[in-house]
Structure 1
């Protein structure tokens, strides 16, 4: 008989950031403003790179992808946290939690791999400046984005599927967001 998950849990409960109702509005405002600044700043970077033809180089292509990944990573958790603070409902469904885990794994790993790709781009630009345009062609930097993305998605799905095998019967409260 093979082991299987016998979890009958429908939702988890987040512990409140603060129990004080006066501070909850301050915490909500703080997180909302930080989230909006993050989204706006990254959208401005993407807009600047896409609108100026002088910025259509590998470095700025990777930078705009990093900005998009940062938007996605922020959007994975912050809106749910803002809704929970505003509605005083601290629950998240089991499938919602697994979905968040998967997306956080994808976007956090993609952000790290994009930083590594950007480091490689700068290495080529510094160590091989005369051959930079030959080495960093559009085919290569498309491959440098898609190959790690494929590996990261497979890895995140495997980790998320492994979480399905765990049982969650004792403590359903998650201490922090």
Structure 2
């Protein structure tokens, strides 16, 4: 068994087993997390990919959904689709074959996929909150500030920035070497790791502020109309002023739906971000490291919950998706005949 210590050069089954026993793969590959993560990834992979794919197709196909707000919803759906199509299958692959984590590219690529997925998800939600904030707080300036060209340029810039940041370890900002434990704290450069840990929190806080402001203003509009109805007699009040303005109701509905999405986002992300920052401050804390990898599953589940909220709470999107699905099924039956 002495020759087995040089595990890079051997390929026999006995030495392979020796290598698996010798190397500590890190908390991302340890039991029971490894089995739990494989199960969760396998269960949600197809719903995440298929659900968000139909959401994207619906927005692209139907003209009444081709607005700035729904294009930003599409942007968030693209990042969630990436989770189902790329991240989850690759995670399952590395977890089923943990020895592959000892290969440099395989190891670095896994966490590059993680960074692309999570950074695009956070920035996508940030853009939606910014669009709603401008629509509610500055409605008269909205057509000037939020244009199709400006929105497209912003989304494109953020995607390019996120991809560049995510592949930085692959381009050299890493401390990987043979036999290293394949976890971010071991393979990422210290400056890069600190940047990823501390950059998420400000974005989440600003997003929270904008969502809170949107909800408060939208509810204020409705409350003002209700008070007016109590003061003025319903008999003497003009017909078009008896009920809240349809635009106010529409904005409130969108605000409530986005508040639900953001609330779910906070439940999934804040524990992970808190543990991640604490781990950076208290380096080497084993319990924090284990807690972080378990909380990572919440981030994956969040990609499915976004689609479910849209499907349940948005009548417009639900009808569009159902129409698209039924149309595809109907065409498939006719083609078989």
- TM-score band by shorter chain is 0.7 to 0.9
TM-score of the two chains, using structure 2 as the length reference: 0.41
Q: Contact between 1:76 and 1:100, CA under 8 Å: does it hold in 2?
A: no
Structure 2 gap segments, 5+ residues each: 1-6, 10-22, 184-289, 297-337
Residue 173 of structure 2 corresponds to 162
Q: CA deviation at 1:48?
A: 1.8
Q: CA deviation at 1:64?
A: 0.8
For residues 11-22 of structure 1, the aligned pairs below 5 Å read 13=25, 15=29, 17-18=31-32
* Cα displacement string for residues 94-151 of structure 1 (whole angstroms, at most 9, x for unaligned residues): 2012122223222321221121111110011101223322321111101110222222
Does 2:160 align with 1:146? no
TM-score of the two chains, using structure 1 as the length reference: 0.72
Residue 109 of structure 1 corresponds to 119
SS in 1 for 2:168: helix
Q: CA deviation at 1:49?
A: 1.0
Could you say if the C-alpha distance between residues 16 and 54 of structure 1 is closer, same or farther in structure 2, counting changes exceeding 3 Å? Answer: same
For residues 1-177 of structure 1, the aligned pairs below 5 Å read 13=25, 15=29, 17-18=31-32, 30-83=40-93, 89-92=97-100, 93-160=103-170, 161-163=172-174, 166-168=175-177, 172=181
* Higher RCO (CA < 8 A, seq sep 6+): 1
Structure 1 gap segments, 5+ residues each: 1-7
Q: CA deviation at 1:70?
A: 1.2
Q: CA deviation at 1:62?
A: 0.9
Could you say if the C-alpha distance between residues 135 and 40 of structure 1 is closer, same or farther in structure 2, counting changes exceeding 3 Å? Answer: same
Work out which of the two has the higher radius of gyration on C-alpha atoms and give 1 or 2.
Answer: 2
